[in-house]
Amino acid sequence: MGYTQEIEIVNLMDLEKGIRWHLQYNHYPPVSSEMIPIAVKAVRLCREDKFGETIVTFFEHQGYGWSFPAGVIVEAYHLEPWVNELDMD
């Protein structure tokens, strides 16, 4: 899906629903639903210009976590349209 189509999704859905849809239908294989709250947090931090703030990802099935800057998560999962959105919720 192109950037323009992602912007349409941003405008049609609230933040969490839009990211959920994006991660499950624009990625192959689909990204685990465990990643959705982490992605939402990363977008919110980046909207506040806190691209370098660390987010700890912890998944129950792994038993351990990883730390990544919010900006890295946004870039890795192509979440830029949600960061650049003018009408922030």
Q: Residue 11 is which amino acid?
A: N
Which of helix, strand or coil describes residue 44? helix
pLDDT confidence bin for 23, thresholds 50/70/90: very high
Q: What's the pLDDT tens digit per position in 35-53?
A: 999 999 999 999 999 999 9
Mean pLDDT estimate for the chain: 85
* CA angle, residues 27, 36, 46, in degrees to nearest 5: 95
pLDDT band at 84 (very low <50, low <70, confident <90, very high): confident
Q: How far apart are CA 71 and CA 69, in angstroms?
A: 5
- Please name which of 71, 23, 31 lies closest in space to residue 50, comparing C-alpha atoms: 71
What is the length of the chain?
A: 89
pLDDT of residue 87: 46
